[in-house]
Amino acid sequence: WTFAQSGDRNDCSSMKAGMFLRKVKSRMWKRLRHYKLQEDCKTIAYKSSWAITSYSTFSISDVEAVREGHQSEALLNVADDFPADHCFTLVFRGRRGNLDLVADSAKEAQAWIQGIRVLMENMENMDESTKLDQWISDWFLKADLNKDGRINFKEAKKLLKMMNVDMNEEHACCLFMMADKSESGTLEDQEFVEFYKMLTERTEVLDLFQDYSSDGQSLSQCDLEEFLREEQLEGEGSYEHALQLIDCYEPSDTARKNHSMSVDGFLMYLTSPEGSIFNLERQGLFQDMSQPLAHYYISSSHNTYLMEDQLKGPSSVEAYIQALKRGCRCVEVDCWNGSNGEPVVYHGHTLTSKILLKDVIATIANYAFKASEYPLIVSIENHCSIEQQEVMARYFRDILGDMLLTNTVEGVSSELPSPEALKRKILLKGKKIGKESESPTGEVSDEDEAAEMNKDSPASESLPTDSKKSKQNLCKKLSDLMFCKSIHFHSFEHSRMSAKPNEMSSFSESKARKYSKEAGSDFVLHNTRQLTRVYPSGMRTDSSNYCPVDMWNMGCQIVALNFQTAGMEMDLNDGLFTQNGYSGYILKSEILRKKERLFDPENPEEREDYHPLLFSVKVISGQQLPKVKQKDWSIVDPLVRVEIYGVPLDQVKQETKYIDNNGFNPHWNETLQFKIHTPELALVRFVVEDYDKASRNDFIGQYTLPFTCIQPGYRHVHLLSKDGTSIHPSSIYVHIKITEL
């Protein structure tokens, strides 16, 4: 396709001609840069006004969204200097910062806003094979230093090194000459794509294809049906499904008309979402959403306002936007007295920066239901004076309007409402004054996370503990807006006798762990009725995370993590919430919802219907793994580790050998086997690392999914970066077998 096909010629031509736009980082930092769309309509180059030739570039495929107007902190700060219709923000995938730009006129701003949106849509609509070609062309552009659209063999070799391809020189030279149709000793863009494809032919896929092909040339509809039944374990409807796959993935018109599939089509299917390890039937909304709230895991963020650490880093409304866009359904707001009667949000008693509560609420109102329609819980820690609490109450009511759920459930029902019943509603959680209070204020005990953290911190252990709980005054107007009431946890016995469904206790990770070890099944039973929130220990000032699986095993619903910190813990959170339409709500396994039959995660063999499974993963090969170190000469030595997370008995890891110097198409052909005691609670994480005998292995990519979402057979595992974003086309190719023991 070209840009012209989309009928937006003018936008494209003005973008291609290039334009000076002002890049804004803060009130003080506003500089002119020259931005220009490259001929490929896929890359934007930019340079500072004083740089003579050196342009930097970014790809349109890295842009996740274009926001118009003053929709970022930097642009809100300069709102008085630049009209909204001159301003726009490019939001990038992953944790890369936004790019805030100001054009000279509304017309110029629109040319870029509309232009980039059309280009993004074109990228979205590309099929898998076009995406691969696109990826190869992007690399070609990087290597073509003199920009004449050609590269010679030496440059091609250097480029392959950058792409993490280590190849036999004679073999590559031979293929290079075959690809050089014009016999010029150089390859043009499309010739290089062909060269790359010849070089990357997948022999292991070809062998499998030939095992099932009756004539060795193609798969007939019957051949493909047999493959789907025998290997992919598809039952009924395999014959019809075979035809759908041919129609969808076969590039050759002739083969499609003959209802047959070539090896190219077969590879397209295997690398497509349908051929991936994740069962597509569980990707959309497939769970019953009409059960009480306490029956669901809820994707939850801790100290949502923080972008970095817990002591001195920035607070930002951008952090709320990022969390909400990732499907988070429980965010935290810590409110403190600010100047001029304006409550502020920050991590109290630290040097983290402050943001206005009204900006946070406006951001929540704007983004609450963009990723999921299901209810959003706002957990409020309130340290404000009565006067500023009244301001808080007014903001919540006025800014959230009809979205705010105010009619509380006391005395109405014995259970909390369901996510379905609460769609598009925002629920506030915090301290409440008892019903009987008629006065405009009341006292509540002050035992929230801030108080707990002071107990956790090493300095406080030497202090005498004040046996009388400190009290806090609470304004009735704010108290009345709370849907969920924060209460102090006494014991499981006490809560079984007296807790109301909308009462919720918070546990630090260490407390939650202690209860899970001492009274696992009591904790599980408690969580069939009550919501439980778990938060990271106060010692984690670097915003590190704890493993959420230990808490999910107990049925804890609101397991709050620092969303801004990448790593295994967030991979598990993303993995659990990838299913069920990214709704941020996952129905807990039946063993954690049954009130009459107790399940103890510490002793999974004792349950009535104990059926362990044998999970066997043959790790066959890897494809185009990204380089870890940016040194020209380094090529990765990859190994694959399969990690199981679940009940304590299931927590195991196994890894393959490493392969020397091959990130391009390493072959392991190793089988790893696991006994899974409680499949319903297990998550599987595939990690690829660069082996290093002298120091810690370097992370290359990972993919995490619930065990219940795994499809058997020959599958590709599409790797994600540390940030959880796609690193297309990097993958590992596996064969999965699950059998009853």
Q: How many CB atoms lie within 10 A of CB 273?
A: 11
The token duo for 559 is: 């397991």
For the annotated binding site for Ca(2+), the residues are 303, 332, 334, 381, 635, 637, 661, 690-692
Upper half-sphere CA count for residue 457 (Cβ side, 13 Å) = 11
Q: Which residues fall in the annotated binding site for substrate?
A: 429, 431, 506, 533
Domain 128-200 in CATH 2.30.30.30: no
Preceding peptide of 729 cis, ω within 30°: yes
CA angle 258, 259, 261 (to 5 degrees): 105
The token pair that represents 615 in the structure block: 């999970």
For residues 656 and 668, the answer to whether their CB atoms sit within 8 Å is: yes
Q: Are 308 and 564 in contact (CB under 8 A)?
A: yes
Q: Which two tokens stand for residue 321?
A: 């936007």
Q: Low-confidence residues of the chain, pLDDT below 70?
A: 1-11, 49, 51-53, 166-168, 171, 407-412, 435-438, 445-470, 630-633
- Give the residue among 89, 38, 44, 46 at the shortest CA–CA distance from 65: 89
The DSSP symbol for 464 reads P
Q: Evaluate the CA torsion angle 395, 397, 403, 406 in order and state its sign.
A: positive
pLDDT digits (tens, 9 = 90+) for 62-107: 899 999 999 998 999 999 999 999 999 999 988 788 999 999 999 9
347 in active site: yes
Taking each helix axis from N to C terminus, what angle separates 386-400 and 357-367, rounded to the nearest 10 degrees?
Answer: 20
Q: Do domains 128-200 and 203-275 have the same CATH topology?
A: yes
For the chain, how far is it from start to end, CA to CA, in angstroms?
52
Find out if CATH 3.40.50.150 is the number for domain 293-447+471-592: no
Read off φ and ψ for residue 460, nearest 5 degrees.
Answer: -75, -15
Please determine, looking at this structure, whether the domain spanning 203-275 carries the CATH number 1.10.238.10: yes
Distances (CA, A) of 586 to 282, 544, 546, 644, 647: 11, 24, 20, 19, 18
C-alpha span between 247 and 713 (Å, rounded) = 21
Q: Which of 70, 86, 302, 677 is catalytic?
A: 302
Architecture of domain 12-125: Roll (2.30)
473-to-76, 114, 386, 444, 455 alpha-carbon distances in Å: 34, 51, 7, 6, 22
What ranges do the domains of the chain cover?
A: 12-125, 128-200, 203-275, 293-447+471-592, 613-740
> What is the helix (H) or strand (E) element at residue 267, kind and residue range?
helix 263-271
Q: Considering 347, 526, 677, 718, which one is annotated as catalytic?
A: 347
The class of domain 613-740 in CATH terms is mainly beta
**Exposed / middle / buried, residue 23 (Cβ in 10 Å: 0-12, 13-18, 19+):** middle
96/79 Cα distance (integer angstroms): 23
- 302 counts as catalytic: yes
C-alpha pair distances (Å), 727 with each of 99, 132, 279, 714? 21, 12, 20, 21
User: Which positions make up the binding site?
Assistant: 303, 332, 334, 381, 429, 431, 506, 533, 635, 637, 661, 690-692
pLDDT of residue 10: 52
CA atoms of 544 and 716, how far apart (whole Å): 31
Helix (H, G, I), strand (E, B) or coil at 734: strand
- Determine the pLDDT at residue 460: 39
Cα separations in angstroms, 204 against 210, 218, 245, 479, 655? 10, 16, 20, 64, 21
Instruction: Please identify which residue in the block is written with the tokens 């009409």.
Output: 290
